[in-house]
A and B are shown apart, each in its own frame.
Chain A
Amino acid sequence: MNDLQIHSKITSMEIDVLQALHQRTLEKYTAGPSIDRARLFFLLLPFFDGKQWSDDMEDSAKTVAIVYAALHAHDQVEEDSPISKSQQLTVLAGDFYSGIYYQMLSNSNNIKLIQLLASGIIGVSEKKASLYEKTIMPVAGIESAAEVIETELLKVFYDYYGCSQYSAIAKPALEYVYFSNQLDSFRNGVETKILRKLNLALPLPLYSERWLLDKLDSLHSELTKVLDVHPMDFNLKNFMLHQITPHQHLAEQLTREG
């Protein structure tokens, strides 16, 4: 499968998800559903890798993307400021998207997956809330929170469809994207919950940038190692390394031999 085909499949799924979540008022007043293309790539990874792929899997993959959109909408609600119309509707957007994913899975009689995703959402919500606890969170706690927030629901999807082997690839890649966004926020002077916790966990706030750079190197190296031994198509590996997690700090090129 070449890059164009991969992009095209991701776009097609993105359109389907956006159509499922279409709601006139929400579209007018909110930023709309956030459909992360990197996440769609990983939801589709078994398909790209030539594993058995059914309509049921494709529909479930869409619902997982919808769950992420629901949770993401609620991340966009500002902590303390008086709430505007757009923010009020952002609250409702998250709830509306949750209703849609529940309805889609119940229509396909996929009750077990609803339950597993609900358990996953509980874990994600607990980790997100933990970032607001007043205690200082050790760096390991921050890493664990990021891992659960970014990968838990994808893991549920992989496990449910017997594709657990992809978790080892998705974990470093999605965490890479996550911490890379944190680094951008740090450099742009934008405070995030993770950065706030990181600044408190490290001896000096200035160390945060160094820590993030080291983390990105380590995640990239972890990803490269996993891919090196995975019997996946070279183009697919290359797509992942260069289009999903382009490493701008210590870029390592994957060779055909590797």
Chain B
Amino acid sequence: MEKVKLKLLYSELRPELDKIEKELEVAVGSNSLLLNEASLHLLQAGGKRIRPVFVLLAGKFGDYNVDVMKQVAVPLELIHMASLVHDDVIDDSEMRRGQTTVKAQWNNSVAMYTGDFILARALEYITVIEDPKIHDILSKTMIEVCRGEIIQIEDKYKLDQTVRDYLRRIKRKTALLISSSCELGATVSGTDAETAARLRRFGYFIGMSFQITDDILDFTSSDEELGKPAGSDFIQGNITLPVLFARKDPLIYGRLKEAVGKDMTDSERKEIVELIRTSPALEEAKSLSDQYLNKALKELMLLPKGNANKTMRNIALFIGKRKF
């Protein structure tokens, strides 16, 4: 339902997004039956296609041509898909978006080759653009996203990490790819440097808010809404912002310390989730998410008005309010 609501916000992009969807289908086509099946399986699981949306919207601030925009939008979504299929191996996930993951349906190795294949397709696709700036932005982003994930694994189970550590991690893990989607969309459509920089910052702030919201929802949503047990991040050792704020209470800190990294029973998991839910931590996290959101909105206010600006604003507001 939430996904439908979000899609309604950018319904004016429907024809372009349909074009991109068709292009994605062609892009994941393979001579290998297995890779073909695995990639289509992944593609058909759907997704919000938020990165192509930001590429297209950012492009509207410049000289917009959908056939040029898709040369960036398609590979960005492919890079995201490739990272998801590898992430499922890292997280040992059986389900994603209500479907079995590639690693669960086949095995870890098939998931690795599927991800490599999709990533290579993305690079094959984006190299039709010769502008070195595009490749500079994208390659740096790919490296930083990986660094973010490496740090995430390094920081697992570390209850004593700082909020700054967390913010630096989610910047790389989530915000950068959204930020780059906006910047690449702006660059490829030839906007001036200031507009491109504003759009990049808008994407960064939205990405930060989006990830903090995601981390809040891991505690506030029901198991059904999440499609996985609430508190899964904590069970997997990912110390997110609500936990970092909640640990300020010595009683909660003690309980978290006992539980982190241990095999928790379902009732223990529920107890931890309840402790976080009833603490002020979620409000504090929401407040920080809103601060990022406001910064994003401020960037928009300084950009030329128009439909794209309005849609970006609506998406930003939706991200701030989404329930799961």
Binding site for B on A (CB under 8 A): 23, 25-26, 70-71, 74-75, 77-80, 82-83, 85, 88-89, 91-92, 94-96, 98-100, 102-103, 106-107, 109, 111-112, 114-115, 117-119, 121-122, 125-130, 132-133, 193
Given A78-B108, A118-B121, is A102 in contact with B139 using a C-beta cutoff of 8 Å? yes
A-B contact pairs, 5 of them (CB 8 A): A25-B153, A109-B132, A114-B135, A125-B113, A126-B31
Excluding A111-B127, A119-B120, A128-B113, 20 further A-B contacts by CB distance (< 8 Å) are A25-B153, A26-B150, A77-B108, A79-B109, A89-B150, A92-B90, A95-B83, A99-B143, A106-B139, A111-B130, A112-B127, A114-B127, A114-B135, A121-B119, A125-B113, A125-B114, A129-B117, A130-B34, A132-B110, A132-B113
Residue from A89, A118, A122 whose CB has the most chain B CB atoms within 10 Å: A122
Taken together as a complex, chains A and B put the C-alpha atoms of A189 and B156 apart, in Å, by 37
Given A121-B120, A125-B113, A132-B106, is A82 in contact with B143 using a C-beta cutoff of 8 Å? no
What residues of chain A lie closer than 8 Å to B136, measured between beta carbons?
103, 106-107
Given A89-B153, A100-B143, A111-B127, is A74 in contact with B132 using a C-beta cutoff of 8 Å? no
B146 touches which of A96, A111, A127, A133 (Cβ 8 Å): A96
B110 touches which of A23, A82, A83, A129 (Cβ 8 Å): A129
B30 touches which of A82, A85, A88, A122 (Cβ 8 Å): A122
What residues of chain B lie closer than 8 Å to A85, measured between beta carbons?
153, 156
- State the Cβ distance, A56 to closest chain B Cβ, in Å: 15
Q: State whether A130 touches B32 (Cβ < 8 A).
A: yes
- State the Cβ distance, B190 to closest chain A Cβ, in Å: 19
Interface footprint category on B? 35 or more
Q: Binding site of A, secondary structure by majority: helix, strand, loop or mixed? A: helix
Given A79-B109, A92-B146, A96-B150, is A132 in contact with B89 using a C-beta cutoff of 8 Å? no
Residue from A26, A80, A98, A121 whose CB has the most chain B CB atoms within 10 Å: A98
Given A74-B116, A83-B89, is A129 in contact with B32 using a C-beta cutoff of 8 Å? yes
Binding site for A on B (CB under 8 A): 30-35, 38, 83, 86, 89-90, 92, 106-110, 112-117, 119-121, 123-124, 127-128, 130, 132, 135-136, 138-140, 142-143, 145-147, 149-151, 153-154, 156
Given A26-B150, A132-B107, is A98 in contact with B142 using a C-beta cutoff of 8 Å? yes
Taken together as a complex, chains A and B put the C-alpha atoms of A160 and B139 apart, in Å, by 22
Taken together as a complex, chains A and B put the C-alpha atoms of A256 and B113 apart, in Å, by 45
Q: State whether A83 touches B108 (Cβ < 8 A).
A: yes
Given A83-B89, A106-B132, A129-B117, is A115 in contact with B34 using a C-beta cutoff of 8 Å? no
Q: State whether A133 touches B33 (Cβ < 8 A).
A: yes
| Nearest 7 Cβ contacts at the A-B interface | A106-B135, A115-B127, A103-B139, A99-B142, A99-B143, A121-B120, A126-B32
What residues of chain B lie closer than 8 Å to A89, measured between beta carbons?
150, 153
B109 touches which of A107, A132, A133 (Cβ 8 Å): A132
